């Protein structure tokens, strides 16, 4: 065994730097987030991307890692986690991270994804909770400020917007590993007043959090704003969950429990206190309570709508601020031992006024009333190479079921079968899980996916999802069904060279425009993408070609395509620049295309385009020192088929739209 370890160590001398592995894992996350954005999964990714950045900066010691810490990485299978822990237990401490090659079932692709998150340090005995002196001396502080300046004027600024057109946010965060985290976030959206009118105290939105972990039996304590996720999300999930993407490396859903809320998202969080206590090593109990004001519209003594956008630019929008309050309380009991994991989750919440929205026919079974509850039981059991995971939940109305069966054939080969049944009247205000829609309501389906690496440098993925909606949906005036199929072929002959082609086919039913639901026909959407990425030395070149075809039976179809080229370069001094250009041409909105581009820290930007035109962007990051970073991005969209952009208050007179974004980060 020692001889093998020395061979691995010598092999490291001839391998590419860990930085390339880091780029691999970041690219994987970006690809999956881009796919979700193309599925119109509108959400704020700040917390997830910030946590990814922290994990890359503070890798865990593989010699002291726990099962729970390894489960944070969704690309690791349960067998791989067990084998890593068994290897360290049997053979002792690893001498280098590349010793992972000796762990059974660990393939090259998975090792590349894991390398940026782990390191090797000798064990120094059991460590207790850090002393106050260590917290003050070695804790890391960060101030992050962002300013967006548009070079155009929307119609709202001529008529009804109350504040300046710039966007501004500032975030302060303190972190000592996973032991202690706290911070404050302040934000002003474009068009909102600043130190004026209803924002006389400055910013439009403030958020604060405090997280304490691993203090004896107290595993987590959260005060202020926080997020929750348990089980498969049928009862509770305001956390990061991936849906249907082109990789089984990120499809596993492992609950996040209690986490901080440090993003500028003004809706998906709770405010109050939450805690997790270890009763015995295999049994954890969590409890939480939240009381917060929410935006919406009230008429008389009733709530008629809940606003999730967090925009307060006009008098009408400002009147929605803190229109009502919601209280929420609940808990979770989790037992995790060997190959069995069982959890119970319950939540009760209520508004201070009855919620009586004006519901159209397709939404007649949506949430309404005053007092609500949800309860669920989740489980996970592994037998050899089979892993069965699921959750069953019920609420004040309806019920929901989700079951996954995963078979790890061998390293690089996986099969996944998912069944879900979400009744048309199931209510779970903060539920989010797998499906055609992230909301677990009014949907049934079977999803089958397979991933294989039969040849060197090649990886294939294929999936099919057969789904149905028992009740009406938006723009579907009857119960309906559909098919969603995906295929991808990835070729990566070198660490700095990769290309893939993927194809997606989706068939759904939809009301024919102008018939008022009297005529419903199937619609077919074909989406084809080719992407080539080459990273010689300090440069990265990426070419993307997209083609879409959309049509309905018996009606004329539409198509759209785009060509995108990006180039990034890291200079010998701490300056990184990136430029990107796109040309798009689509017949209508249904055939729109998406083009992701380099964003600011902890942000991801994937705009959609329809019509005909160009999109240009340039990005530069300069690290003045290890503690000070400055980032600037400018982008412009030019349409060739219109004289105005947008409509209503968002209307821009002209065919050009340009923005400047500035970001400053200071670490202490």
Residue pLDDT, tens place only, 143-152: 999 999 999 9
pLDDT value for 125: 58
pLDDT for residue 230 is more than 60: yes
Mean pLDDT of 494-507: 93
pLDDT band at 241 (very low <50, low <70, confident <90, very high): low
Instruction: Please give the C-alpha separations between residue 67 and each of 59, 78, 82, 84, 90, in angstroms, as whole numbers.
Output: 15, 9, 8, 9, 16
In this predicted model, what pLDDT tens digit does every residue of 388-405 receive, in sequence order?
Answer: 999 999 999 999 999 999
Listed residue (119, 115, 105) closest to 16, CA to CA:
115
In this predicted model, what pLDDT tens digit does every residue of 560-589 receive, in sequence order?
Answer: 999 999 999 999 889 999 999 999 999 999
pLDDT value for 70: 86
Q: What gap in Å lies between CA 112 and CA 24, rounded to an integer? A: 7
Phi/psi for 432 (5° steps) reads: -155, 125
pLDDT value for 412: 80
pLDDT band at 41 (very low <50, low <70, confident <90, very high): low
Listed residue (218, 321, 228, 305) closest to 266, CA to CA:
321
Q: What is the mean pLDDT of the chain?
A: 89
pLDDT value for 252: 62
Q: How far is CA 277 from the centre of its chain?
A: 27
Mean pLDDT of 22-40: 64
pLDDT value for 14: 33
pLDDT for residue 664 is more than 50: yes
Q: How far is CA 372 from the centre of its chain?
A: 27
Decide which of 378 and 133 is more confident: 378
Q: How many residues does the chain have?
A: 668
pLDDT band at 221 (very low <50, low <70, confident <90, very high): very high
- What's the CA angle centered on 520, arms 515 and 522, to 5 degrees? 135
pLDDT for residue 556 is more than 80: yes
pLDDT band at 667 (very low <50, low <70, confident <90, very high): very high
The β-bridge relationship of strands 118-119 and 60-61 is parallel
Topology adopted by domain 169-446: Porin (2.40.160)
pLDDT band at 224 (very low <50, low <70, confident <90, very high): very high
pLDDT for residue 20 is more than 50: no
In this predicted model, what pLDDT tens digit does every residue of 62-116 receive, in sequence order?
Answer: 888 888 888 878 778 888 888 999 999 898 889 888 888 899 888 887 888 888 8
Lookup result for tokens 């890391």: 140
Lowest mean pLDDT segment, chosen from 16-30, 76-90, 232-246, 298-312:
16-30
Mean pLDDT of 206-234: 95
Q: What gap in Å lies between CA 187 and CA 167, rounded to an integer? A: 8
pLDDT value for 266: 92
Domain boundaries, the chain: 1-125, 169-446, 453-528, 536-668
pLDDT value for 461: 95
Mean pLDDT of 515-536: 92
pLDDT value for 10: 35
Beta bridge partners of 310: none
Mean pLDDT of 143-162: 94
Mean pLDDT of 134-163: 92
pLDDT value for 23: 54
pLDDT value for 437: 85
pLDDT band at 126 (very low <50, low <70, confident <90, very high): low
pLDDT for residue 29 is more than 80: no
pLDDT value for 141: 94
Lowest mean pLDDT segment, chosen from 4-18, 173-187, 641-655:
4-18
pLDDT for residue 249 is more than 80: no
Q: What gap in Å lies between CA 424 and CA 468, rounded to an integer? A: 11
3-state secondary structure 134-163: HHHHHCEEEEEEEEEEECCCEHHHHHCCCC
Q: What percentage of the chain has pLDDT greater than the value 90?
A: 64
Mean pLDDT of 48-58: 77
Mean pLDDT of 192-215: 93
Question: What are the b/e assignments for 438-471, b being 16+ CB within 10 Å?
Answer: bbbbbbbbebebbbbbeeeeebebbbebebebbb
Mean pLDDT of 343-348: 97
Q: What percentage of the chain has pLDDT greater than the value 70?
A: 92
In this predicted model, what pLDDT tens digit does every residue of 291-342 receive, in sequence order?
Answer: 999 999 999 899 999 999 999 999 999 999 999 999 999 999 999 998 899 9
pLDDT for residue 5 is more than 60: no
Question: What are the b/e assignments for 278-306, b being 16+ CB within 10 Å?
Answer: eeeeeebebebebeeebbbbbeeeebebb
pLDDT for residue 16 is more than 80: no
Lookup result for tokens 């020692």: 2
pLDDT for residue 243 is more than 90: no
pLDDT for residue 248 is more than 80: no
Decide which of 622 and 105 is more confident: 622
pLDDT value for 251: 61
């Amino acid at each position: 065994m020692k001889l093998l370890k020395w061979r691995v160590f010598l092999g490291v001398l001839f391998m590419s730097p860990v930085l390339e592995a880091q780029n691999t894992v970041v690219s994987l996350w970006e690809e999956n987030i881009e796919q979700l954005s193309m599925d119109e999964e509108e959400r704020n990714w700040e917390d997830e991307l910030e946590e990814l950045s922290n994990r890359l900066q503070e890798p865990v010691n593989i010699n002291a890692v726990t099962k729970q810490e390894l489960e944070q990485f969704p690309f690791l299978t349960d067998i791989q986690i067990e084998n890593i822990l068994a290897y360290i237990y049997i053979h002792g401490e690893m001498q280098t991270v590349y010793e992972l090659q000796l762990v059974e079932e660990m393939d090259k692709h998975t090792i590349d994804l894991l390398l940026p998150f782990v390191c090797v340090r000798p064990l120094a005995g059991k460590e207790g909770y850090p002393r106050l002196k260590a917290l003050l001396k070695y804790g890391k502080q960060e101030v992050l400020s962002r300013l967006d300046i548009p070079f155009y004027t929307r119609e709202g600024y001529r008529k009804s917007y109350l504040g300046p057109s710039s966007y501004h946010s500032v975030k302060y965060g303190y972190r000592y590993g996973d032991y202690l985290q706290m911070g404050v976030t302040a934000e002003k959206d474009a068009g909102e007043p600043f130190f004026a009118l209803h924002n006389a105290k400055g910013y439009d939105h403030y958020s604060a959090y405090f997280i304490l972990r691993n203090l004896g039996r107290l595993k987590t304590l959260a005060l202020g704003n926080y997020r929750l996720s348990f089980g498969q999300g049928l009862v509770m999930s305001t956390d990061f969950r991936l849906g249907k993407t082109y990789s089984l490396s990120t499809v596993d859903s492992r609950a996040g429990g209690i986490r901080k809320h440090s993003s500028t998202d003004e809706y998906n969080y709770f405010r109050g206190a939450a805690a997790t206590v270890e009763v015995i090593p295999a049994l954890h109990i969590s409890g939480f309570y939240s009381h917060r004001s929410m935006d919406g519209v009230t008429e008389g003594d009733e709530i008629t709508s809940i606003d999730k956008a967090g925009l307060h630019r006009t008098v009408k929008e400002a009147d929605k601020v803190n229109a009502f309050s919601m209280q929420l309380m609940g808990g979770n009991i989790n037992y995790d031992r060997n190959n069995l994991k069982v959890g119970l989750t319950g939540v009760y919440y209520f508004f201070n006024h009855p919620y009586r929205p004006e519901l159209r026919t397709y939404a007649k079974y949506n949430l309404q009333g005053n007092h609500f509850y949800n309860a669920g039981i989740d489980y996970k059991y592994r037998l050899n190479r089979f892993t069965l995971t699921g959750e069953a939940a019920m609420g004040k109305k309806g019920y929901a079921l989700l079951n996954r069966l995963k078979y790890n054939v061998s390293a690089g080969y996986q099969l996944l079968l998912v069944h879900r049944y979400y009744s048309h009247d199931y209510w779970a205000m903060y539920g989010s899980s797998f499906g055609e829609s992230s909301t677990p309501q009014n949907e049934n389906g079977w999803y089958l996916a397979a991933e294989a690496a039969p040849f060197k440098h090649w990886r294939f993925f294929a999936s099919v999802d057969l789904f149905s909606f028992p009740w009406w949906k938006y723009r579907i005036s009857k119960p309906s069904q559909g098919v969603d199929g995906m295929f991808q072929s990835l070729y990566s002959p070198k660490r700095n060279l990769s290309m893939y082609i993927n194809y997606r086919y989706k068939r759904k039913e939809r009301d024919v425009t102008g018939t008022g639901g009297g005529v419903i026909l199937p619609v077919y959407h074909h989406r084809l993408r080719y992407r080539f990425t080459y990273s010689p030395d300090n440069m990265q070149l990426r070419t993307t070609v997209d083609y879409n075809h959309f049509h309905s039976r018996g009606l004329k179809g539409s198509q759209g395509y785009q060509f995108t080229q990006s180039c990034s370069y890291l200079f010998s001094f701490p300056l990184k620049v990136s430029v990107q250009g796109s040309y798009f041409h689509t017949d209508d909105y249904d055939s729109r295309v998406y083009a992701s581009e380099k964003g600011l820290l902890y942000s991801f930007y994937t705009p959609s385009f329809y019509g005909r035109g160009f999109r240009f962007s340039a990005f530069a990051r300069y690290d003045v020192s290890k503690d000070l970073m400055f980032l600037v991005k400018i982008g412009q969209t030019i349409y060739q088929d219109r004289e105005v952009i947008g409509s209503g208050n968002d209307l821009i007179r002209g065919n050009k739209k340009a923005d400047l974004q500035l970001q400053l980060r200071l670490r202490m």
